[in-house]
Chain A
Amino acid sequence: MATPTYDLLSTITTTSVVSSVTFTSFPTSYKDLVVVVNAKANQNDSFLGLRLNNDTGNNYNFVDFYYPSGYTQKSNHNKIQMHGRLIDTSWTAFSINIMDYREYYTHTPIMARYGDGDSGTGMTAGRWANAGRVTTINLFGGQGLQLAVGSTFKLYGIAG
């Protein structure tokens, strides 16, 4: 039976300059999660980082391909890095899929695409090397970058 889905679960809009945002307490009744980000940096120029369940260990693997400046690959790293440039002059959009987030049999696959209004576009493949259920999603600016006022972060659930 067809079931309507792609449900908006939570929205965060920054009302002050912050270094990170966190989604918690989302339901486990969906198959996949999607985070849609439209963000700008307060200053500096860096990547958007992602961690799950506040895990700061070296449990993340990713490859990031960004045009025009190439690719970054890291194994056993302490975060996923999405290198869509977060800059202070234009907004950058990210669509981040967190697949099978509630399952215990799989490391969590993370897939992201992004583009900024200034110069580039890219995509990221990530894996959280932990088969635990995802209960917290933390997004933050890299290298001391802070997120500007008005940055939006929307969390959607997809049944399956």
Chain B
Amino acid sequence: MTQHVQVTLNGKPFQADVEDRLLLVHFIREVANLTGTHIGCDTTSCGACTVLVNGVPAKSCTLLAAQVDGAEIQTVEGLEQDGKLHPIQEGFYEEHGLQCGFCTPGMMLVGKALLEQNPNPTEAEVRHAISGNLCRCTGYVNIVKAIQYAGKKMSAPAPEPVEVK
């Protein structure tokens, strides 16, 4: 049996006929060909496959593609806009929030979802939010800083427009 799955993927409509048993992570990587979403443990433990489903972090190895029919999906590829890094990406760059980079897409999406609820999280709040994501480089200190950096950047008032005389 196949299912017709229609989603909004990083802001654009995307649809395909897929096997009923297809997991969301394979739908994203192999059908939509977006390989920024990683497969780590494949057992709901590591969070490398985290994407946003209707704005909420989800482990895409533990959802069926059919289950998210009609949903809005965001992957790491959707963060950058018009060639400009998203503040969360900038935070990981500035604060050295990645080493090997394998966990980074999941960490950034969890960070983004957190900051939308709580623009100025404490270290404890960030650590709680990323507790379902593993970094095998153990670079958590800088990941926390990167997310906090993005929070500050996102909640800072827009720069005053320069007055032209």
Q: Do A and B come from one complex?
A: no
